[in-house]
Amino acid sequence: MQKSPLRYSKILLTSLSIVCFCSISAFAQKDLTMAFGKKGVITYNSKKHTISVTDCGKALFSDAVGVVISNGTTLSVSDYPAPAFAKTDFNDAIGKGTKYTLTYTAAAKPQLTHTFYTYKDKQYFITQLEIDGKGQEVVTNYIAPLTTGKVGFDIAKNLHTVFMPYDNDAFVSYESKPLESITTNTSAEAGVLFNNTSRNGIIIGSLEHTVWKSAVKTTNTNNDVALTAWAGYSEQAVTRDAIPHGMVKGNKVTSPKFFVGYYADWRTGLEEYAKANRLTEKPFVFNWDKPTPVGWNSWGVLMDKINYENTTRVADFFADSIPQFRVGNTAYIDLDSFWDNMVKGGFSGDFAKVKEFADYCKKKGLEPGVYWAPFTDWGHKDGPDRKAEGGNFTFGEMWTKTGNNTYFDFDGARAIDPTHPGTLQRVDYVINKLKACGFKMIKIDFLGHAAAESTSFYDKNVTTGMQAYKVGMERLVKALDGQMLIYAAISPNLATSSYAHTRRIACDAWKTMEQTQYTLNSVNYGWWQTYTYNYIDADHVVFADESEGENRARLISSVITGTLITGDDYSKHGNWSVRAKEWLSNKEMLKIVANGRAFQPVEGNMGNKTSETFVQKIGDDYYLAVFNYGKEKKDYKLPLERLGIKQGTYRLTDIFSAENKLIKGNTIDLTLGAEDGHLYKIVKP
């Protein structure tokens, strides 16, 4: 097993249960309105066959249509005669609502159905587009339920849009872009358009991820702003695919459902979007109702040097030196890549020493963890004829094909087809070995390889990367059989939420302030994923011999993400072990970790960098994280209103030093040293 040295469903939106049929279908010869939320209105324009949306008296966007490219022909609802209109009540996992359908029919054309799901108690609606071949096969890899003519809630010069990556590989960063500085921005799965000063914003994003890769594009043409939400996204720099999105085929083809909402605070909107994802696409993995996972991972420092002796000494340190570093009396000692140093004869050999490690952890009151990248072949350069574990297939037979004798190679590994029986047998074989050893946690990695588009999959019913991902991930979860906490590392941002309890928010990070800032960039714009997973994580925290300020900032970057996994070589004594003893038993810090939710960013106009301030309220108490990424000390004046705290008198206490002071008025004044971070509790005195 190798790892790059540089870095390493059931759908819950249940089949709609129709409560009553409120009106018989009729042709929409006049304008129609469809209400959502408290003040939202979707209006169908009978002359243009377009949609406009208003909310809270603001015109959000106008002239929106649904578009699909089928069998090489572009079809827009605006090119059809007047549609049939129907209105029905339904009840799904989100709640009770009203479903509106506009069905477009024309001779010699496929039928298009534009659907809108609305809820009285939700500030968003959901839209979807279906193409029906009326008995003929439909073939498409582009279907857009929402292509807007013009956004109207604010002017372009006030707005930012965000590039959201498809995964967390290759040290990718999120990026907030001033709209007046760009002509187009394509964001994977979800898009946001917001005013950073007022915080008003529109959120659009896909809610289903088992068939399609999706995207939201923002365009600015001479200060006319438009949005397009579509499925069928493939871009090598983002999705890693060197070939187009796979074709989806059938008598009927449906887009994923897309969330559309306007919010006074774009941050609230993204959190609502995340929660809607969790409800719409029910997790395939069992729900984690145990305490927030904390512990240690070997990739932080030990890397490929792990063995039985040094890893059991690490377990000794956690058991004997920091027994308070627990949430719910549990901490995990997780072996990353190269744990097979302890296996004689490879995966088909003797796992006795690995089992001995797992047993040792348990005797120490700790939970053992392990690592695997189930859909990669790291030995592909040794040729195609190597036999894969668990069956009689060779790796060459299992490689994911991308045409003309090419394969999906990324991160130094070659993807293997998740639908191939050899891949599935290998999953069963390896996971059964690890279960027999008694592991209670597994870190799964390089999962994006399982979602790669292919010219053909072994299972001919599978034609897209996300369909293949579903097959492979469901087999993996079934093999694990509820016996382990599942932690995803490199993986698709949203599609993985059905299969993992916790997921790393960014790519690898170790100890420096630069790496802390990189990690927090993903928290700044992706913190909302704390509501699509049980937990998100900031990777292994390494102290090493960095300065106290950098150590503290790196630790806080993890705490405010929602979990805490450490990474130093605790088999040896050093500055890192001294700081671990001092900090990792801090009761107030562990209270925040036990809450398990990411902090909100205070600012959103940070480009590809990150906010200096993050906030969270737990019960009646506020918590504030402040970072100075620079090389010089810095003074801060933080308005309480901007932090979401009412004006008044408060006591501000540093979590780690216990220093405190009274805050009166409407501003918190602070000074931070160079490359430092501090975490504060704010309470009424």
DSSP string, 88-141: EEEE-SS-EEEEEEEEE--TTS-EEEEEEEE-TT-SEEEEEEEEE-TTSPEEEE
Residue 515 forms part of a structural domain: no
Q: Mean per-residue pLDDT for 124-131?
A: 98
Final residue in a domain of this structure, among 213, 245, 280: 280
Does residue 667 form part of some domain? yes
Q: Is the pLDDT of residue 634 over 90?
A: yes
3-class secondary structure, 504: strand
Cα Rg of the chain (Å, integer): 26
- The predicted model scores a pTM of 0.94
Question: What's the pLDDT score for residue 15?
Answer: 35
| Average pLDDT, integer, range 298-314 | 98
Q: Is residue 173 part of a domain?
A: yes
Whole-angstrom distance, CA of residue 626 vs CA of residue 553: 9
Alpha carbon 159 to chain centroid distance? 24
Assess if residue 314 is contained within a domain: no
Q: Where are the alpha helices (DSSP H) in 499-586?
A: 513-526, 548-559, 575-583
Contact (CB, 8 A) for 225 and 191: no
Question: What pLDDT band is residue 344 in, cutting at 50, 70 and 90?
Answer: confident
> What pLDDT score does 346 carry?
81
Q: What is the pLDDT of residue 4?
A: 43
Residues 683 and 658 sit within 8 Å (Cβ to Cβ)? no
CA distances from 101 to 33, 34, 83 (A): 12, 10, 9
In the chain, the number of structural domains is 2
Strands (E), 607-684: 613-618, 621-628, 634-639, 650-654, 660-663, 667-672, 676-683
The separation between CA 265 and the C-alpha centre of its own chain, rounded to angstroms, equals 20
| Average predicted confidence (pLDDT) for the chain | 94
β-strands 667-672, 376-377 pairing? unpaired
Return the CATH number at 645: 2.60.40.1180
Q: Evaluate if residue 69 carries a pLDDT over 70.
A: yes
> How many residues are recorded in the chain?
685
Under the banding of pLDDT at 50, 70 and 90, the label for residue 23 is very low
Instruction: Check pLDDT > 90 for residue 453.
Output: yes
> Taking the CB of residue 406, how many other CB atoms lie within 10 A of it?
13
Task: Please report, for residues 213, 343, 438, 476, 679, the alpha-carbon distance to residue 479 in angstroms, rounded to integers and kept in the order given.
Answer: 26, 21, 14, 5, 41
Cβ-Cβ contacts under 8 Å for 609 (sequence gap 6 or more) = 517, 521, 629
Q: Does 308 reside within a domain?
A: no
pLDDT > 90 fraction of the chain, expressed in percent and rounded: 93
Q: Is residue 149 part of a domain?
A: yes
pLDDT for 56:
87
CATH code assigned at 229: 2.70.98.60
CA distance 464 to 453: 6
pLDDT of residue 22: 42
Give the pLDDT confidence score for residue 9 in this predicted structure.
35
User: What pLDDT is recorded for position 18?
Assistant: 35
* Residue 557 near residue 504 (C-beta atoms within 8 A): no
Please say whether the beta carbons of 660 and 653 come within 8 A: yes
Beta bridge partners, 103, equal 84, 113
| φ and ψ at residue 354, rounded to 5 degrees | -65, -40
Mean pLDDT of the region 520-539: 98
Quickly state the pLDDT bin for 663 (edges 50, 70, 90).
very high
Domain boundary residue, one of 280, 306, 341: 280
Tokens of 98: 């009203």
Are the beta carbons of 101 and 107 closer than 8 angstroms?
no
Closest C-alpha to 571, from 314, 306, 305, 320: 314
Band the pLDDT of 57: cuts 50, 70, 90: confident
How much is the average pLDDT of 540-544?
98
**Whether pLDDT at 90 is above 90:** yes
The yes-or-no verdict on residue 347 having pLDDT over 90 is no
Element (H or E) spanning 429, and its range?
Answer: helix 421-437
Distance (Å, whole) CA 618 – CA 645: 13
| pLDDT at residue 6 greater than cutoff 80 | no
224, amino acid identity: D
Give the phi and the psi of residue 519 in degrees, each rounded to 5: -60, -45
* H-helix or E-strand spanning residue 191: strand 190-194
Give the model's pLDDT for residue 650.
96
What is the CB neighbour count within 10 angstroms for residue 392? 10
User: Domain span at residue 610?
Assistant: 601-683
Structural tokens at position 373: 């990248």
160 vs 195: CA distance, rounded Å = 6
- d(CA 217, CA 210) in angstroms, rounded, equals 21
In a domain, 575, yes or no: no
| pLDDT at position 30 | 86
Q: What residues contact residue 214 under an 8 Å CB cut-off, 6+ apart?
A: 188, 189, 205, 206, 229, 230, 231, 232, 233, 256, 258
Task: Decide the pairing of beta strands 160-163 and 190-194.
Answer: antiparallel
What integer is the mean pLDDT of 372-383?
97
DSSP reduced 3-state for 183: coil
Q: What is the pLDDT of residue 110?
A: 97
Residue 557 DSSP SS3: helix
Better-scored residue on pLDDT, 7 or 87: 87
pLDDT in tens, 170-191: 999 999 999 999 999 999 999 9
Q: Domain end: 214, 249, 280, which one? A: 280
Q: Tokens 């097959």 identify what position?
A: 471
Cα 156–159–161 angle (5° rounding)?
115
What pLDDT does residue 665 have?
87
Burial of 236 (0-12, 13-18, 19+ CB in 10 A): exposed
pLDDT at 3: 53
656 lies in a domain?
Answer: yes
